[in-house]
Amino acid sequence: MEQYLFDTLPDGPFSKLRKLVSGITPKLSLLDMSIGEPKHPFPSFVNQIIVDNMAGFGKYPAALGIEPLLNANANWLNNRFDLNNKIVKDQHISVLNGTREGLFNAALLAIKSNPTVKPLIAIPDPFYQVYAAAAMAGQADILFMPTPQSAGFLPVLEHISDADWQRMAVFYICSPANPQGVFADEAYYKKLIALARKHNFFIFSDECYSEIYSDEAPISALQVALNEGEFKNVISFFSLSKRSSLPGLRSGFCAGDKNFIARFKMMRNIAGAQVPLPLQHVAAAAWSDETHVIDNRNKYNQKFDLVDKILGTMFGYTRPKGGFFLWLDMAEHGGGIKAAQDLWAYCGIKSLPGAYLSNLAAEDDADQTYADPKNETASRYLRLALVGSLSDTEEALNRIVKYYSTVEGAS
């Protein structure tokens, strides 16, 4: 039987989750915390802009972006990250049909045509599945990079061999990280950028959660790249999905290395998914407004205030610096898969086992010794998305605390 390129693509995390909880009837009403789909109201101006530009649905969209959108993207980047107006809209920016599309297609453009060397794409583990799909499409080897707590939940650059650096095509990094919520700091980016320029690979910095943070605003890889000499070898990706609670708009952009962006725009002009014109006008307005972003961020921080109060230090919890996920250590409760089953059955809470975001084989996961502090794999953890209302978040947290207090009391 013939085998095709994507025949070995594994089930996605939510397919695995459906199988895990199938046949189990929860004892309480459903509270879904499994998917990182924002539920906050999107900006009030969205509806009217769509109405005002309805005629645009009758036209083919501008594949490379309308001028108001490109201006808004460039202005936002330069102001948000203090880039001294070095981002030029026509040189450094490519409009995307959501960052998932961009993160996938950009990898295909980053792989050199060299039949004697198989390319390598590095991916943090846990990871966003589109990174791996892009590597498979480019027929590259994948280097899964562990992100243990002992290393600050970031890949350890020193653990990568010289041979792997030499055939590296793309290094994916997510900052703030999904699911751990940590940032890559200036020193980390500086070291990574030096390696990228030495070995001529591209850093794809997934910064979709950059506007959801607690106290300190995260830096961008673009800031460090500029300090080290223009934006060479660095592409950062940004989205309205989390920033503006507009996941269905499918609008984002990437920015950085002007030579790469020029080639990417040529590719997208022929093969890229276009953003409808009315939605480009919405995106331009959203990137030009910070009021709704501040309100959105405050809503997430109110929920984290509840977590601080209700969970305290349970499950190894510490407040993440960014993003909207809880990454809870469930080692003492059988690991992430068992915890997901238990919370579904006894609390009505749908959550996502860390192993399902990892390169771990789910069937091997039950054999892990979770209580061993040296076992720092994602199998220990459970991810919960704080995307629901404040009242639903409070209810879920109280159910979790009550359930595990009862279980521990019974034992």
The tens digit of pLDDT for each residue in 13-30 reads: 999 999 999 999 999 999
Q: Is the pLDDT of residue 146 over 60?
A: yes
Cα separations (Å) of 385 from 2, 34, 159?
40, 6, 31
- Looking at residue 116, its pLDDT comes to 86
- Looking at residue 354, its pLDDT comes to 96
Q: How many residues does the chain have?
A: 411
CATH number of 13-41+292-404: 3.90.1150.10
- Looking at residue 374, its pLDDT comes to 63
Q: Is the pLDDT of residue 315 over 90?
A: yes
Are residues 379 and 358 in contact, defined by beta-carbon separation less than 8 angstroms?
yes
Domain boundaries, the chain: 13-41+292-404, 46-289
Q: What are the DSSP calls for 326-359, one per residue?
A: EEEE-GGGT-HHHHHHHIIIII-EE-EEGGGGSS
- Looking at residue 362, its pLDDT comes to 43
pLDDT digits (tens, 9 = 90+) for 263-300: 999 999 999 899 999 999 999 999 999 999 999 999 99
Are residues 109 and 263 in contact, defined by beta-carbon separation less than 8 angstroms?
yes
Give the count of beta carbons closer than 10 Å to the beta carbon of residue 188: 20
pLDDT digits (tens, 9 = 90+) for 126-145: 999 999 999 999 999 999 99
Percentage of residues in the chain having pLDDT higher than 90:
88
Nearest CA-CA partner of 287 in 80, 111, 109: 80
- Looking at residue 397, its pLDDT comes to 98
400 CA to centre of own chain: 25
367 confidence band (pLDDT: 50, 70, 90): very low
Lowest-confidence pick of 109-118, 196-205, 348-357: 109-118
- Looking at residue 409, its pLDDT comes to 59
- Looking at residue 363, its pLDDT comes to 43
229 confidence band (pLDDT: 50, 70, 90): confident
Crossing angle between the packed helical segments 67-80 and 277-287, to the nearest 10 degrees: 20
Give the pLDDT mean for 58-62: 94
d(Cα 314, Cα 401) in Å, to the nearest integer?
9
- Looking at residue 113, its pLDDT comes to 84
- Looking at residue 179, its pLDDT comes to 97
Give the pLDDT mean for 217-242: 96
The beta-carbon contacts of 14-19 under 8 Å, at least 24 apart in sequence, are: 14/352, 16/353, 16/356, 16/362, 17/340, 17/350, 17/352, 17/353, 17/356
Q: Which amino acid is at 134?
A: A
Sort strands 120-125 and 168-174 into parallel, antiparallel or unpaired.
parallel
Is the peptide bond between 179 and the residue preceding it cis, with omega within 30 degrees of 0? yes
- Looking at residue 336, its pLDDT comes to 96
Is the peptide bond between 126 and the residue preceding it cis, with omega within 30 degrees of 0? yes
Percentage of residues in the chain having pLDDT higher than 70:
95
3 confidence band (pLDDT: 50, 70, 90): confident
- Looking at residue 364, its pLDDT comes to 47
Higher pLDDT, 368 or 352: 352
Give the pLDDT mean for 69-92: 98
For the chain, the average pLDDT equals 94
CATH number of 46-289: 3.40.640.10
